[in-house]
Amino acid sequence: MVRPRARAVHGTNFSREAHRYDAVRPGYPQAALDLLGWEWSELRVCDLGAGTGILSAQLLDLGAEVVAVDPDGPALSRNPAPYRLGTAEDTGLAAGSVDVVTVAQAWHWFDEAAAAEEIARILRPGGRLVILINQLDVRVDWVLRLSRIMHAGDVYRPAYVPAPAGFALRERAVVDFATPLDVDGIVDLARTRSYWLRSDETIRERVETNLRGYLSEEHPISGTVDLPYMCLAYVLDRL
């Protein structure tokens, strides 16, 4: 479990590697976004924990009216959507002001009880919460080994179901997909992980050496490889 103080510190660290984050972290598969069951173009959406805007950009492309909320100002400055500084527990948005709240790659950083209360407050009656979690597909043996070397921290099992108070699960899916990366890209992916961001240079050098050794000797990669992912997607109704 991530302690609240640790959430506050690590949750604002990602802007240090924002350029890499945007380059190597995957977007979210369309099948996961379609799980909502509504046309995004008709919706006002709060993208909560939006960071640099990987999901925000996709929602804008789908025609949604998006406001991005995050405590990390430098990360938000890269977000293409209108944004405001705020947290999952205190967004600063008006009550009943959005149709959908999306949380992509950020649910584990929240104080779930406080966040659920705030999300319910800003959603209109009948609004929905969408939680998206991209994870390396550790069901694949070589990816499991890779994730352990980089200390990926992908902690949710496919059977996981979020259950915040005041919400009821409507839909869920595990969507398999892949993103193309070469060895340098995989090393850059490790550099965007919280383990890397909070480690000293000695540990970082060890991780990079181990990664490059694994990808040249135990599981050799030449050129670009399709790195397997799974997206855990959930749609919850506000009660």
Q: What is the pLDDT of residue 193?
A: 85
Give the Å distances, CA to CA, from 122 to 4, 65, 89, 125, 159. Answer: 22, 15, 11, 9, 28
**What is the pLDDT averaged over residues 213-224?**
94
CATH of 4-135+155-178+229-238, one of 3.30.360.10, 2.120.10.30, 3.40.50.150, 3.10.310.30: 3.40.50.150
Residue found by looking up tokens 């999952």 in the block = 88
Per-residue pLDDT, 7: 42
Average pLDDT over residues 146-175: 90
pLDDT > 80? residue 137: yes
**Does 20 score more than 70 pLDDT?**
no
Please tell me the least confidently modeled range out of 76-85, 152-161, 194-203, 225-234: 152-161
Does pTM surpass 0.85? yes
* Helix, strand, coil distribution of the chain in percent, nearest 5: 40, 25, 35
Residues 42-99: tens digit of each pLDDT: 999 999 999 999 999 999 999 999 999 999 999 999 999 999 999 999 999 999 999 9
Residue 120 has pLDDT above 70, yes or no: yes
HSE-CB for 201 with a 13 A CA cutoff = 0
Distances (CA, A) of 157 to 62, 128, 174, 190: 29, 23, 10, 20
Q: Which residue has the higher pLDDT, 44 or 154?
A: 44
> Is the CB of residue 100 less than 8 Å from the CB of residue 130?
yes
Q: In what order do the strands lie in the sheet with 65-70?
A: 83-85, 65-70, 44-48, 98-104, 123-136, 225-238, 167-181
CA pair distance 91, 48, nearest whole angstrom: 8
Number of H helices, E strands in the chain: 10, 7
Tally of CB atoms within 10 A around 230: 24
Between 36 and 6, the more confident residue is 36
Nearest to 213 by CA among 141, 145, 136: 145
